[in-house]
Amino acid sequence: MTDARFHTVWIPLQERFYRVAYYILEDRADALDAVQDLYVKLWKMRDSLDLVANPGAYGALLVRNLCIDRIRRARPSEPLEDDLPGKPPPDETLMLRETLGALFQAMENLPESQRKILKMHLLQGMTYDEIAAETGLTPLNIRVQVSLARKKLKRYEKV
């Protein structure tokens, strides 16, 4: 392909290629860079471009692939599971599991009514009014039951 033919066939398609790149990358500068990379690639392979039947579709496909490559290169590698930010170290996780296990075991020693109310309040996040509506007890009675259950759990913790 001659230089003049390259300029008459491929250069007018620049805006189309930019729209494809911008749609994928959602950034003006990155889209312009991708189109520039596309034209560098096209220029290097200009001798074989005479075989291309639909330059617009072929160029759009190439720029799409270039954009995908850019996204893959820009994406940071996945951190290891143990290195995730905000995740406690394994020893703390084990301690937390043991503590929760002891708490649930202690809750089994509570009277049925206190255990049920405490689970509704702490585990299900229900308010005192919601628990009262479900159990038929007064909100004040619910508060008293939760307080008594907590005191019993604290005593069990000290033992």
Residue 118, domain CATH: 1.10.10.10
User: Contact at 8 Å (CB) between 120 and 82?
Assistant: no
Q: Which of 17, 45, 74 is the last residue of a domain?
A: 74
Q: What is the CA radius of gyration of the chain?
A: 33
Nearest CA to 116 out of 103, 134, 100, 92 is that of 134
- The residue-averaged pLDDT of 134-154 equals 91
- Which pTM value belongs to this model? 0.48
For residue 126, the enclosing domain spans: 83-158
In the structure, what pLDDT confidence band is assigned to residue 158 with cuts at 50, 70 and 90? low
Pair (61, 121) in one structural domain: no
What CATH number is attached to the domain comprising 61? 1.10.1740
Q: Is the pLDDT of residue 44 over 70?
A: yes
Rounded percentage of the chain residues whose pLDDT exceeds 70:
90
Question: Following DSSP, what letter does each residue of 95-153 receive, concatenated?
Answer: HHHHHHHHHHHHHHTS-HHHHHHHIIIIIS---HHHHHHHHS--HHHHHHHHHHHHHHH
Q: Which of 36, 54, 74 is the last residue of a domain?
A: 74
Pair (87, 151) in one structural domain: yes
**Rounded to whole angstroms, how far apart are CA atoms 142 and 82?**
41
In the structure, what pLDDT confidence band is assigned to residue 83 with cuts at 50, 70 and 90? low
